Amino acid sequence: MSLFNKYNKEIELFVKVCHRLANNMFVTGFGGNMAWKLDDDVILITPTQMNKGDITKKDLVFLNMAGDTLGGTKRPTGEKPMYLEFFNKRSDITSVVHCHPPCVCATAILEDESILMRPYYPETVTEVGPVPTVPYGEPLTLQLAENFAPFLQKYNSFIMKNHGLVTMTTGDIYWTLLTVELLESSVNSILKAMSVGSLKELSKEALTNLGNVMKTRDLPLFGAPGINKTLEGMYF
């Protein structure tokens, strides 16, 4: 059985997410890419130089963890080294989306890199977590992938300086998309609030209580397993 037949259901969801990213204008031109680890040595990834709104099943590529092509006729995204780094260094991660949501990308060019490291909304705190800024690296290079090293074990979402967003989760590709949409909506409100006044953070006590919410909902703490001990400890 071919990988395209074996993972047909996952492929359909993957294409749906590609199209929704494009419809949301979170990706434009050939920008953005994403990958989903379907098995221990099977990664589904977007092709290079295609608008995500145009992608169909036949355009997708399967890789193994060494980066070799297992299926598909197109070349994988040029950001392949970045994804291999993610999956090799974070074995708990299942899916990753790199895109350019307008409001989130606005924070990528702010001098203040701490804005998304602070807690403002319960849902964003429990489903996205703190978002650090990764130093700028030339796209499509190993250097860009290596720039994540100081942050990769502790966080699940990252602002790429002067570039865009990377979000990874332990869930499927659709859950990662929903996480991206939540962050973009939150940042939209944060930027509007900043334009008229000062921001009001959630308290440490509130975050302690939100840690209880995460346990009730069976949401894992962000970062590699065991790295972070408490939700409030990630912010305070």
First to last CA, the chain: 51
Token couple for 156: 């699940």
Whole-model pTM: value is: 0.96
Sign of CA dihedral 118, 146, 67, 72: positive
Q: What angle do CA 26, 120, 195 make, to 5 degrees?
A: 70
Total count of residues recorded for the chain: 236
Alpha-carbon torsion angle 209, 132, 89, 183, nearest 10:
60
**What ranges make up the beta strands (E) of the chain?**
33-39, 42-45, 61-63, 69-71, 95-99, 133-134, 157-160, 164-169
Q: What is the pLDDT along the chain (236 residues), one digit of tens a residue?
A: 799 999 999 999 999 999 999 999 999 999 999 999 999 999 999 999 999 999 999 999 999 999 999 999 999 999 999 999 999 999 999 999 999 999 999 999 999 999 999 999 999 999 999 999 999 988 877 788 899 999 999 999 999 999 999 999 999 999 999 999 999 999 999 999 999 999 999 999 999 999 999 999 999 999 999 999 999 999 99
47 forms beta bridges with: 76
Provide the CATH number for the domain formed by 3-235 in this structure.
3.40.225.10
